[in-house]
């Protein structure tokens, strides 16, 4: 009888240990690796750029830092699709474009990647803004997207 009690105490403790491990794994290790991001250890080699890789398809690389986007103005001719690659140099920033579904959280020293299918009737100038509080100059962190057709 006593042996059976010991057996069940061991089983319960083993499950408790497993749950605590999974909790710690999910919250510490899992949380520090953002989804849909690429590790980018060499921040210095990341060059901001706007590049048309095929007709209507752009790759736009943006650096986000306290308190600016580089480039601050992105001008696109007749875009169909935009591949955004956004790198934060310092703290958590946001990269959002008004009136669109572009809304990224950018983790320090990671590249956030988003493929945006541009609505074909969209043209004009749109505000790009940081929507994560990133310090005392947060409200000055913005840029513009200009779409010409």
Which positions lie near ligand CUA, rule CB under 6 A? 93, 130, 132-134, 138, 141
The values of phi and psi at residue 138, to 5°, are -50, -45
Query: Which of 7/133 has CB closer to ligand CUA?
Result: 133
CB of 52 to ligand CUA, least distance (A): 27
Query: Which of 30/135 has CB closer to ligand CUA?
Result: 135
CB of 130 to ligand CUA, least distance (A): 3
Query: Which of 61/93 has CB closer to ligand CUA?
Result: 93
Query: Which of 61/138 has CB closer to ligand CUA?
Result: 138
CB of 138 to ligand CUA, least distance (A): 4
CB of 110 to ligand CUA, least distance (A): 14
Strand partners, 50: 60
């Amino acid at each position: 009888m006593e042996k059976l009690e010991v057996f069940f105490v061991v089983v319960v403790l083993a499950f408790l240990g497993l749950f605590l491990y999974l909790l710690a794994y999910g919250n510490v290790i899992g949380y520090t690796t953002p989804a849909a991001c690429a590790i980018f250890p060499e921040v210095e080699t990341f060059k901001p750029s706007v590049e048309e890789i095929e007709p209507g398809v752009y790759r736009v690389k943006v650096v986000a830092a306290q308190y600016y986007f580089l480039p601050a103005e992105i001008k696109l001719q007749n875009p169909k699709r935009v591949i955004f690659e956004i790198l934060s140099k310092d703290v958590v920033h946001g990269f959002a474009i008004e009136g669109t579904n572009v809304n990224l959280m950018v983790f320090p020293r990671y590249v956030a990647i988003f493929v945006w299918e541009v609505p074909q009737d969209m043209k004009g100038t749109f505000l790009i803004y940081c929507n994560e509080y990133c310090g005392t100059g947060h409200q000055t962190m913005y840029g513009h997207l200009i779409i010409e057709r």
